[in-house]
Each structure stands twice: as structure tokens, then as C-alpha cells.
Structure 1
């Protein structure tokens, strides 16, 4: 006999998107059930580097960083090859400050603001993501939210075409979980879904598998059965910059190439403009022998290490034995398994280009996305970090309206079904900008949680909320 429970809202997935949705809605007065497939909470978010992309923040102002909503929008659309849905982009921009306030009001501290993949200004706000998730879940529980772990959603339940719940398999057998105001898919992508990768991106099977163990595409499949549309499925790509022995316990991803490093293959030759986004770099590296690209840099770049900050923590990488150091390029090449003659010749050509004596052989003009002044690699000791592409996230999925309602292949909303986070397609387009994954989860999750509870996400953090219960019911319907 199936166990049955009813709530105002059922949220599937406990990464930043699901957790933000659940916490926001619960604090606004809804009875919310948060369902997680794995025994532990957090999903892929808990394995991420903790970067959120926001513009116009106090943190940027304090550091004298010049940025704007217009520049952010330009970067999102340019990075996405203008293939992303502009309505979703505009919704993110319109609600980013509310999400930023929500996080700050819950004690989130951003440790650093930095420029990274796809940005024209420093807008990556770094957090201790596991602490963020734990804090939000504690607030969710304190507000009366209910959590089920080890419970895998299997099929969406409908009534006259409207999604009213989900059939799931729990530790004690099948359960039917009903949501009076609907079901929210926050189930992530399919970085661990071998079968789905075979269908949509078979070449990416050569990348190192990563991401949450539960990210096998369950939410996508359930929505697909109901006729949901899909977007960005052809843009799945791994992220470049992880050591071949990268493990799940530590977010090992180095982007020294955005600080002045070059990337070479085992022949010691460059093969790509290192300033492009790291998803595009991931595609390029997969085509190299062994799927390997070695980041090579000198003491100037090494000095920019920031311990504990993902993408920049060279100190920890060296302690792990993954970062090689040598006084000469020839010795470095031997340690990293790179042809010495090729590496020396490549560095000579690169330094000549930086000095303005020749054109750069890969057309590189800046450190990151065309921003930042190039520096020569000539200050020993020298360093090498062998790295591959890491399949962290798939950044594609169901089509949604700007208010996060899932739509069919014909663009019609599916009643009672919402989606936030990595399971959503259409926002990123052709590629991904650092921080917009966690950012998207927080922004749309906060917006949706507030809307389903009948509050205004732009005002709720100031304590101003709409109290009309009939209006709440209308929003929920």
C-alpha cells in the first residue's frame, strides 16, 4: 500500500534552486515538502565552487568594481551566442538583487568578488556553498518545512492535465506526494546520466564524470513524458581545468589561464585562445591527445593563488602533488609529460606576442573574455597543471515561462508544474558564464517561492508582503 501525504508545495531536489524555493515559500507561510533522491542534501550545488553572479552589489561597490545590469545582460547574450531566451535573461536581471538580499539576510557572506569565464567585469561572488545550503535548510526546517531524503521521484501525477503530485520510491517503498499548489522540479541535469549523454552529447562521455550522484536526468524524463519542451540540449559541454585524479571530496578546478597561464598539449603547443569561456575550452581540450591540456605559468601567476577559493587555490593543488614546479621550462616539461622543445618554442612565441613583436598564434588579446593585460611567462620558478575537462553540469533542459512554469513543445504552460535551476533550458544558450548556475538557482528559486506563496519577491525582504489570501490563491492557481 502506497504512503500518501499532502502539502501546499512539493519541491524535488535540494541543491541551491530547490532549497531556495523551499525556504522562501516556507518562510512565507506554505507547507512545503522538500524531496531529495540522495541520502545527503545539496546535490551538485554542494560540489560546486560556490560562485554566484550578481551585478550592482555592495560588494562590488566596496571594491571599486565598475559593472552594470546592461553590461551583465550583454555578457549573458554574447556568451550565449544570442541563442538564450532574452525574457529569462531579463527576469534574472530584474530579480537578482532580491535574491542577493535573501542570501545576505540569511547570513551568507561573499568572500571574494572576481572576474571569471564569460565576464567583462568582476561579478563572481564567492561563498562557502556547503554553509550556504546548510543555513538555508536550517531556516527551512525552523519555519516548519518537511524533508524527505533517499526518496527518488519516478512519475508526475496529474488530474485533468494539471500536475498535482509525484509518485516516488522512498526507503520504505512507494509514496504519493501531493502538492496543492504544484510540484517544482529542481532535480538538476544529467552529468551522471550516461544514457542521456549518449543521446545528447556522446562526445562528452570522454570527460571526467562529476556532479551530484543523483543527477541522471530524472526530472527531465518526467517532464518529457508530459510533453515538455527542451532547450539548449545541443550545447552540453564539460568544463576545462580539473586534474585527471580529481576526486569528489574537493572542488578541484583551476583557471590559471584567466590569470596569465597558457594551455598546451603534450607536444607543448597551444591549440586555443585561453581567454574564452571554460566550456568552449573543455570542447577544445577533448580533441587533444589524451584529452589533456596542461596549464603553464610562472611565479607571477602563482602569486595570485588564494587558498580556499575555488578556481584560484594553487596552494592546495601543489600540496596534493597535482601542481608541478621547476626552475627551467625544460625540467617542467619533463615533470608534466610535455615535449620540452615544443614547450620552450611555444613560450618564446607567446612572450614575443605579449611584447608586441608578433601576432598571437591563437589570437589571444586578454586574460579573460578579452579583459586583462597579458604578461610574459619569464619569471621562474615555472609551474604546470595537467588538466582535463570535467562534466560538472549540463545547463540544458525543460522550457519555462519567465515565472518558471514548465511549457510544452508548443509553448503552452503545464498547469501545476514548475522548474528552477539546472533542469531548466533556455537561459544559458550556447555557453555558461561563471556564477550563473548557482545564481540562476537562487534568483528563480526565490522568485518562484515568493510567487507561489503570494508574496512580492522584490519587497518581501523589507517585510512588505501582500496579505490578501484570495490573491494568494489566484497566484497559486
Structure 2
């Protein structure tokens, strides 16, 4: 098992539960990867939390939303596999310490299906149970190469250590759960040079090692043309605090440094991320009033306006003119922009940018006219790349012709095909968990056979 984010941890523990002997290798000196730096949102349907709030959801609606946000470019077989096992995975996670205390609608969703849990606590629980079950974890073990038997089956890995190298052999196969390449400048230059302007984020180990090793063996690649960061992080965002605000899904608008709106704010935040990169300085400023400010949810990622104002990243003013002066945009332009937007909300005019809802067709637009007014300057943050090597529904890596590379599995953000053109909030963590369990089942069945 290579990589210790949600995909690696779930696959490792599930494999132990299937009676397999598992070695978990982590490149860095800490567990969790980018999963530990995430907000902790999982996307599931048909859950207890939805039922408690009267939210009616279904796998069919989930399927439609995934293909809609993915622009119909998703690998349908992977989406169907995900939906087949997502409910069981939800229950498995709850049985292993996940406590979903918040339910929300967010990017790419037509129904509230983002479930929040304390991600670092969950990852710690999974690791503890893995070790209790006899699993073995090694930190600072960077895998540099996959090895193969004479018949072509992937049979192990070569590891780089401070005092040299060593090789580990694998009976059931090797699982790549190494994450994306948000820190891999060389790969970004090849596949998404425009994203070099985004703020790099994600685990320091996310340099594309797994993708590169599988690619060398002939693995296929998917969704490589759709790499895009997510919009909503302050320019001074640090690695110790997951800072991403989506006030635009609550009623805010986003303007550029000229004080003008430039896109439909109800789109998924990956699409917004690409649009913001086109603006001067790569900056989009979220503008809202006291109504939206009152919707802050302290401690809830994406909605915690209180915390961001406390650290000085959200600006407050008595008027739009004063607010414009604080964030250094033309006051007259901002006033005109908000006036025109309020006319859209009031039904006087249609929106030239096509906005009709708060988030992905859901929620009525609200006026921005109740002082005080607020501004949150934000950029595009490249946390992960949502693309990568191709896999089949059993989690086995496939080559450029679609044939299985025997003995090689992959799960999580090192893989491509599932998301398609864009990303729905929560599906990165839930996808990693679902396919981690699928891989464990596949590997165990092959050993039994």
C-alpha cells in the first residue's frame, strides 16, 4: 500500500479485515496526505443525516449530478461502481469512528449531500485499527519504482531510504494511493501549465510519484485536460489551516479588481477556479452583506466567516464605497455592479452572466443591500488535480489499450476518469474510501482463487 490518505488508509484497513497481510508505505514523515489537510466533507446519498433533515436523495439523482458537473465526460462504469458501494462505505466509515455532524449543499450538488466529519480524527482511528489488526506502517519510505515478475505481473516496490534502498515483494499486488500532483511542477508544466499561477496546496508529497511509476508501465491517463484548482482561498492561506470560503453559495457575488462580476457564481468551484485565474492578479473578491454574514457556521469549513474575520481576512465596512476603498477597487464600479445585481434579484433585468440560483440550480438569489458590507479577497487553490491513471471498476490499473496491468491497483486522487470535467464537493474523500474498499475485496478474492 503506497500512500496514507483516505484511499490508502481505507484500503489498508479493509485488506486487513479480509485477512491479508498489509504493509503501508508513506513517503513523508506524517500520515494523512492531502486528506488530512482537507475540510473533511464526504458526499453520500440515502443517509441517516439526510433522512433526519427531510432531504430526499437517491442514487439516480446522485448519478445525474455527477455526470452533469462532469460534463458527461465521466467514466460511467466507475460512477456506477461508486454508487453501488457508497452506502455500504458510509456505514463502514460510521462503524470505524466517522461522525457526520453537518449536512450541506455545495459545489456541483442539486441536493444537500455533503457530510462533514473531523477528518484527522477519522484518519487516526483508521490507522489505529489497522495497526491493531496486524498492519505495518512505515513513514519516510518513498517508493521510487514498481517491480515486475517475468510474466509482467507487478510484484513489488523499490523504496528509497535515508541510508540506502530496499525492495518489498507483494503477493496480492501493489496499491497506489499516492494522491495527485499539485506539488509536481514538472507534471503541471506538461498537463496544466496555466495552473502554475494557482496557489499550490495539498500534501508536500503530492508530486505525482504514483502517476509517473504507473505511466512508465504503460498505464492509461484520464481527465488530464481538466486540471483546475478550487476558488475561495485568501492569498495568505497557510498550510496549517484549511481556508476556503464559499460565501457565493450563500448569496455573495464575486468581482475582479475592476469591481466587475465576470462569471456565474453558482457554478462548481473548480470551474470558478479556472475563471478567477483569468482575472488580473488571479484574484476574485467575494462581496456580501449582513444577511450572508449572519449565515456563518463557526467551525464548519467553507462557511466559517467568523474565523476568517477574526484573522483579518474578511473586511467590514459601513458602505460599499468604504468597502471598495479598503480592498482597493473602484468605488463607482462596485456600486454599479451591486446595483445591477440587485436589479437581477428583483426581477427588473436578467443576469448577463446567467446566474439564476445560489448553487447549481438551487436557492433563490438574495439582495446585497443590508449594511454592513463585507469583502473576502480570494484566489484559486490547487489542492489536488482530480485526474490521473485509468482503473477498471475493480480498482485495477489499465494500460493505454484498456488491458489490466496485473497486480497493480490504484485508488484516490492518483486515478482519473471518475470526476470528468469538474468536481463535486465531497466526492474526492468518498471516492477514495469507496474504491479503497473495492480494491481490498478484489485483492482478497484473487488470493482466495
Question: Shift of the alpha carbon at 1:194?
Answer: 0.3
Partner of 1:8: none
2:164, 2:117 → 1: CA distance?
Answer: 37
Q: Aligned match of 2:182 in 172, 181, 191?
A: 191
Partner of 2:128: 138
- Is 1:473 aligned with 2:448? yes
Question: Shift of the alpha carbon at 1:126?
Answer: 0.7
1:339, 1:290 → 2: CA distance?
Answer: 16
Partner of 2:94: 104
Contact kept, 8 Å, 2:49 with 2:103, in 1: the verdict is yes
Bigger Cα displacement from structure 2, 442-451 vs 110-119: 442-451
- Is 1:28 aligned with 2:3? no
Contact kept, 8 Å, 2:46 with 2:58, in 1: the verdict is yes
Partner of 1:283: 274
- SS of match in other structure, 1:452: helix
Partner of 1:457: none
- SS of match in other structure, 1:12: coil
- SS of match in other structure, 2:94: helix
- Is 1:374 aligned with 2:349? no
Residue pairs, 1:323-342, within 5 angstroms:
323-342=314-333
Q: Aligned match of 2:110 in 120, 145, 156?
A: 120
1:336, 1:142 → 2: CA distance?
Answer: 53
TM-score by length of 1: 0.93
- Is 1:343 aligned with 2:334? yes
Residue pairs, 1:20-419, within 5 angstroms:
20-159=10-149, 160-419=151-410
Question: Shift of the alpha carbon at 1:93?
Answer: 0.3
1:209, 1:219 → 2: CA distance?
Answer: 19
Contact kept, 8 Å, 2:172 with 2:447, in 1: the verdict is no
Partner of 1:459: none
- Runs of 4+ off more than 6 Å: none
1:395, 1:413 → 2: CA distance?
Answer: 21
1:326, 1:443 → 2: CA distance?
Answer: 46
Question: Shift of the alpha carbon at 1:418?
Answer: 0.3
1:49, 1:403 → 2: CA distance?
Answer: 28
1:173, 1:443 → 2: CA distance?
Answer: 35
- Describe the superposition over 1:321-341 as per-residue Cα deviations: whole angstroms up to 9, x where unpaired: 000011101111111122111
Question: Shift of the alpha carbon at 1:472?
Answer: 4.5
Question: Shift of the alpha carbon at 1:204?
Answer: 0.3
TM-score by length of 2: 0.99
- How many equivalent residue pairs? 448
2:442, 2:372 → 1: CA distance?
Answer: 55
- Is 1:453 aligned with 2:431? no
Question: Shift of the alpha carbon at 1:68?
Answer: 1.1
- List alignment gaps of at least 5 residues for structure 2: none
1:239, 1:408 → 2: CA distance?
Answer: 29
1:101, 1:290 → 2: CA distance?
Answer: 44
2:266, 2:169 → 1: CA distance?
Answer: 48
1:139, 1:373 → 2: CA distance?
Answer: 45
1:237, 1:180 → 2: CA distance?
Answer: 37
Contact kept, 8 Å, 2:104 with 2:112, in 1: the verdict is yes
Question: Shift of the alpha carbon at 1:450?
Answer: 2.8
- SS of match in other structure, 2:291: helix
Partner of 1:6: none
Question: Shift of the alpha carbon at 1:172?
Answer: 3.2
2:35, 2:18 → 1: CA distance?
Answer: 24
